[in-house]
Amino acid sequence: MSTETGAGFSVVICVYTEDRWEDILAAVSSVRAQSLTARETLLVVDHNPTLLARLTTEYAATAGVRVLANAGPRGLSAGRNTGIAAARGDLIAFLDDDAVAERDWLRYFAEGFDDPRVLAVGGRTLPAWESGGRPAWFPEEFDWVVGCTYKGLPRGRVRVRNVLGGNASFRRTAFDAAGGFATGIGRDGDKRPLGCEETEFCIRLTHAVPDAVLLIDDRSVIHHRVPAARERFGYFRTRTYAEGLSKALVARSVGAAKGLESERRYTTRVLPSGVGRGLRDALLGRPGGAGRAGAIVAGVLTATGGYVLGSVRARRGGAAFSAAPIGDTDGRAEGVRSTGGEGAAA
C-alpha cells in the first residue's frame, strides 16, 4: 500500500448482510490498496448485530478501518448519513459493498477537487457479471439497473446534474450546505430496489449552492459485482418499475423540470438509438439484438408505469421522506421534506 498521504478522504462503505462477506473484505482491500491513501475507511452496518460484531472482530487490529452501526432508520440513506457524521476527512467517498475500486480511484477523484467550485466527483462503474459475461438480451443503455454506468452518459471528465451514489465523492461542505441523503427514498436491504437518493441530494445541493460544480471522471473506475439473480429479466422489470416510483418522489421534491431533466434526453435520444441498433443486429442475425430492443421498450414501459403510479400516490399524500441535517440521523429533523407514493415506504 502506498505511503503517500491522501487528500483527506474518508471512504464510507455501507453493508447490511453477511451474504456479502467476501465482497465486503474485497471492497475494503481495494480501498487500502489505493495509490492515494485514504485517511480512513468506515464500514457502516445497517441494523445487523451479527455482522456488526463479526466485522468489529475482523478489523479490530487494522489501523484506519472503523466499524459503525447505522444510527438512523434502516436503509442506505441513513447508513450514508451515519458515515458522513462520523467521517474525519474533508472529502467523503462512497463505495458499494459489492464493488472493488481500481488503484487510482481516489487519485482521480482528488484531481477533480483541485477546483474549489467542485463539490462532487463521481466515477465510472463497470459490471462484473457473475455468469462471466453480459446476457445477450441485456442492453447497455440499462446498465443502471445493476448499479453501473450506462450507455448514453458522457465520457471523460464532464459536468453532470448528479453523480451515482455507489461510486462518488463529495466535499464535507456539500453536506453542511444541503443536509444529508433523504431517508425513505433509497434502498433498504433486499426490499424493492428503489433508488434516486443521490439524484435528489445532488439537485438539492445545487439549489443550496447555485454555483456548485458536479463532475463525473470516468477514470475513477470501480467494478461492481452483478449476481446471477440480477441478470434475469424479472429483476430488470422490477428494478425499472422501482426506478419510476423513485423518480416520482424526486420530481415531487424538486419539481419535474429538474427531476426529469436528464431523463428526457435519455428517453428521446439514447433509448431510440438503442432500439434501432438492436433491430439492426436482429436483421443481421447477430445474437441478442431483438432481445435488447424488446428489453429497452419493456424497461421504458415499466418505468413509466411506476412513475405514473408513484405520481398519483404522491398527489394523494402517501408516504413521506425527509432529509435531516448531518448529525441528526433519526430522519425526523428539519430539512427537505416531501410526500410520495409506495416507493417511499416499500
Residue 260's pLDDT is what? Answer: 62
Name the nearest CA neighbour of 42 among 8, 75, 18, 66.
66
Instruction: Determine the Cα–Cα distance for residues 229 and 20; give it in Å rounded to an integer.
Output: 14
| Residues of the chain with confidence (pLDDT) below 50 | 1-6, 189-190, 259, 319, 329-346
Please check whether residue 75 is in contact with residue 183, taking contact to mean a CB–CB distance below 8 angstroms: yes
pTM of the model: 0.87
Alpha-carbon Rg for the chain, nearest whole angstrom, is 19
pLDDT of residue 291: 96
pLDDT value for 162: 92
Three cell numbers, residue 327:
448529525
Cβ-based neighbours of 130, under 8 Å, separated by 6 or more: 225, 226, 227, 228, 231
DSSP helix/strand/coil, 319: coil
pLDDT digits (tens, 9 = 90+) for 197-244: 898 899 999 999 999 999 999 999 999 999 999 999 999 999 999 999
What DSSP string runs through 200-244?
Answer: HHHHHHHHHSTT-EEEEEEEEEEEEEE-GGGGSHHHHHHHHHHHH
What the block records as the C-alpha cell of 71 is 444510527
Question: Amino acid letter at 308?
Answer: V
Residue 162 sits at the vertex; the CA angle it makes with 213 and 342, to the nearest 5 degrees, is 150
Q: What is the pLDDT of residue 38?
A: 97
Write phi, then psi, for 314 (nearest 5 degrees): -65, -40
The phi and psi torsions of 132 (rounded to 5 degrees) equal: 105, -10
- Per-residue pLDDT at 265: 78
Residue-wise pLDDT for 308-318, tens only, equals 988 887 777 65
pLDDT at 250: 78
Q: For residue 194, what pLDDT is reported? A: 61
